[in-house]
Amino acid sequence: MFNPETSQDLHLVTCIFAIRKVVLELCRPEALGDFQYIQSPVLNFTTQIAGSGFQPSEVLSSLSVSGSNTSVFVDVGGSTGHVSIQIARSNPKWKFIVQDSSETVTLAKSQVPEDVKDQLSFQVHDLWTEQPVRGADVYFFKTIFHDWSDTYSVKTLRALILALKDGARIIIADICIPPRGAVSLYKEQWMRGLDLVMKCFANAKERDFEEWAALFAMADTRFKFLGVRTPPGSKASFIEAEWRPFDTLSSQSGGI
């Protein structure tokens, strides 16, 4: 019998039901009661997609966060700020701006923990309009790009350009499909299965290393692709690029 708390198919089933829930919201809102259990922690898709090895503390591991200067971290599509809140607790000199829909921002503002409320602010914003926060140090996207085709993902990256300062970092927490045989059979099956689900249900996809590099190159050659980091035990990876408008090297090389 299928047990949603222990099955190895949990992640794929969660994805399918989450997408079906979106369809129901549009077509049959009266049927949503059948799918409310999706909201429970064990079936939280954005948590399950990362795996137990994904820790917010890993986000800034490639950056220098020491010193007296305040840095700015923009969490694009950051929901209620759960990632930013955890990072803020270990980086008290940083300021965090969490961007999402108006409904989500209203909810988030009502539940900010006291210990980080001076570090966090919330802003209504969508992915495809010009980024209003200019000159930030980091623009962070967690499990956003796998929901969209290359056309819309490029549009998301280009919406950042006018806001970017030289050296601004773009950090994406998402799936990076490894070469065949590079990980366990189960992990590879899970990733490729999720890729099929995203293709079939959302006209989207998971990407491998070369596809991530190509995505930044398609958006603008001034994005310098820095590579991919995968924390031990995590299904999600950190895909990183830097805005280098004065760099003569083209990010089309796809190198690190």
Asked if 115 contacts 87 with a C-beta cutoff of 8 angstroms, the reply is: no
The CATH architecture assigned to 51-179+204-253 reads: 3-Layer(aba) Sandwich (3.40)
* Strand boundaries in 116-215, DSSP class E: 120-124, 138-142, 169-177, 207-208
Average pLDDT (152-174) is: 97
Give 178 or 131, the one with higher predicted confidence. Answer: 131
Asked if 108 contacts 122 with a C-beta cutoff of 8 angstroms, the reply is: yes
pLDDT attached to residue 256 = 43
In this prediction, residue 64 has a pLDDT band, given cuts at 50, 70 and 90, of: low
Q: What is the dihedral of CA 153, 97, 177, 214, to 10 degrees?
A: 40
Q: Does residue 146 have an active-site annotation?
A: yes
**How far, in whole angstroms, is CA 242 from its chain's centroid?**
16
pLDDT attached to residue 96 = 97
Domain ranges of the chain: 51-179+204-253
Q: pTM of the prediction? A: 0.76
Average pLDDT (9-35) is: 48
pLDDT attached to residue 238 = 93
Above 60 in pLDDT, residue 210?
Answer: yes
pLDDT attached to residue 224 = 98
* Highest mean pLDDT out of 57-66, 164-173, 188-197: 164-173
Question: Which among 174, 158, 147 is positioned nearest to 59, based on CA atoms?
Answer: 174
pLDDT attached to residue 131 = 98
In this prediction, residue 69 has a pLDDT band, given cuts at 50, 70 and 90, of: low
Q: What is the dihedral of CA 227, 178, 40, 89, to 10 degrees?
A: -30
Q: Please write the tens of the pLDDT for every residue from 233-251.
A: 777 889 999 999 998 555 4
